[in-house]
């Protein structure tokens, strides 16, 4: 039992009280903390403005051809590796949920192998594949020298895509598990095959759960592409580094790269919000 806020003595004073204007709650804590934050931010901006950094140089390099080419390569690699990752991840998740033990253990093994080793190590392994397999191919049909096939692009795509697929498979699996078992049965009861029910009924519902972590994964990937600079893939950070090796404008070029990463990630966040709304269709949600 809690005490009543006010003890009403008679109905006349209750009526009086009922007439009073209701004031909205004031959040003093929020106002104070927001003010503190703004002051700190202003101090930070000021520090950078008077620091030993040449903002004009940052402006110049923002649209420098080498930087833009690097940005383009970063975007291309992110999109390709994510596409590969989604295809592999969905396949692995479906295999993991299959009643077939061969498929199931293959999927488990795949996730174990690629989640269990650092991405940078996987990139180096793919890039140096020629050391163990000088010639790649299918005996009698086609073969090529590994050094010509495994370009920086190919090595980065394989390394990042395969690794991505392992993580995506767990995300998709969580999504599949979130769908009620009754949905599989309802889909079967109208004569759908397993693959049709996955495509039309189960995956679209799983997407609601899958999109937020998948967006997160994509954002992480955009930044992880910078690791491909170790295998000479000409992405954004790699190109920025090459420029500052020759002109020593280290901070300026790092700011340029940071700016573009933020732009790409911001665009992705908007895309994610659109997708989330798209897949929330028909699902009543409690905020």
Partner 1 sequence: MTPIVSAVKVGKSFGTVQALSDITMDVAAGEVVCLIGPSGSGKTTFLRCINQLERFDSGALFLEGELVGYRRAGDRLHPLAEAQIAQQRRATGMVFQRFNLFPHLTALGNITEGPVQVLRQRPAEAAEHARSLLAQVGLSHKADAYPSQLSGGQQQRVAIARALAMRPRLMLFDEPTSALDPELVGEVLAVMRDLAERGTTMITVTHELSFAREVGHRVIFMDGGRVVETGPARELLSNPQEARTRGFLAAVLS
> What are the residues binding partner 1 (CB under 8 A)?
180, 182-183, 185-194, 196, 200-201, 204-205, 279, 281-284
Tell me the CA distances in angstroms from 263 to 60, 71, 258, one per residue in order.
Answer: 17, 10, 9
The smaller minimum CB distance to partner 1, of residues 180 and 232, is found at 180
Q: How many Cβ atoms sit within 10 Å of the Cβ of residue 246?
A: 7
The smaller minimum CB distance to partner 1, of residues 195 and 246, is found at 195
Structure tokens given for 177: 């598990």
The smaller minimum CB distance to partner 1, of residues 115 and 199, is found at 199
**Whole-number minimum distance, CB 278 to partner 1, in Å?**
10
174: left (phi over 0), alpha (psi -120 to 50) or beta: alpha
Please, what is the Cα angle at 24 between 21 and 25, to 5 degrees? 135
The smaller minimum CB distance to partner 1, of residues 244 and 279, is found at 279
**Whole-number minimum distance, CB 280 to partner 1, in Å?**
9
Structure tokens given for 62: 């923002």
**Whole-number minimum distance, CB 175 to partner 1, in Å?**
13
**Whole-number minimum distance, CB 170 to partner 1, in Å?**
23
> What contacts 24+ positions apart, CB below 8 Å, involve 254-261?
255/53, 255/58, 256/58, 256/61, 256/62, 256/64, 256/67, 257/67, 259/58, 259/62, 260/62, 260/67, 260/71, 260/74, 260/236, 261/222, 261/223, 261/236
**Whole-number minimum distance, CB 193 to partner 1, in Å?**
5
**Whole-number minimum distance, CB 95 to partner 1, in Å?**
16
The smaller minimum CB distance to partner 1, of residues 12 and 190, is found at 190
The smaller minimum CB distance to partner 1, of residues 204 and 264, is found at 204
């Amino acid at each position: 039992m809690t005490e009543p806020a006010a003890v009403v003595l008679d109905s006349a004073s209750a009526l009086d009280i009922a007439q009073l204007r209701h004031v909205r709650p004031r959040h003093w804590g929020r106002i104070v903390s927001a003010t503190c934050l703004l002051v700190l931010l202003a101090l930070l901006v000021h520090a950078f403005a008077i620091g030993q950094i040449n903002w004009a140089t940052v402006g110049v390099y923002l649209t420098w051809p080498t930087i833009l080419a690097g940005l383009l390569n970063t975007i291309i690699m992110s999109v390709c590796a994510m596409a590969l990752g989604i295809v592999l991840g969905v396949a692995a998740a479906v295999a993991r949920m299959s009643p077939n033990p061969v498929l199931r253990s293959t999927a488990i093994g795949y996730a174990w192998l690629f989640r269990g080793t650092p991405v940078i190590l996987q990139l180096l392994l793919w890039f140096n594949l020629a050391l163990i397999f000088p010639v790649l191919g299918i005996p009698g049909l086609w073969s090529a020298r590994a050094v010509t096939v495994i370009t920086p692009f190919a090595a980065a795509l394989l390394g990042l895509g395969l690794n991505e697929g392992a993580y995506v498979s767990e995300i998709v699996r969580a999504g599949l598990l979130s769908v009620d078992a009754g949905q599989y049965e309802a889909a079967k009861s109208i004569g759908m095959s397993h693959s049709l029910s996955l495509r039309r009924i189960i995956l679209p519902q799983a997407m609601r759960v899958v999109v937020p972590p998948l967006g997160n994964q994509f954002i992480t990937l955009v930044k992880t592409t910078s690791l491909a600079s170790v295998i000479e893939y000409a992405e954004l950070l790699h190109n920025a580094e090459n420029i500052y090796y020759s002109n020593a404008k280290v901070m300026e070029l790092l700011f340029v790269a940071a700016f573009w990463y933020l732009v790409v990630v911001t665009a992705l966040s908007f895309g994610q919000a659109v997708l989330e709304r798209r897949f929330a269709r028909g699902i009543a949600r409690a905020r």
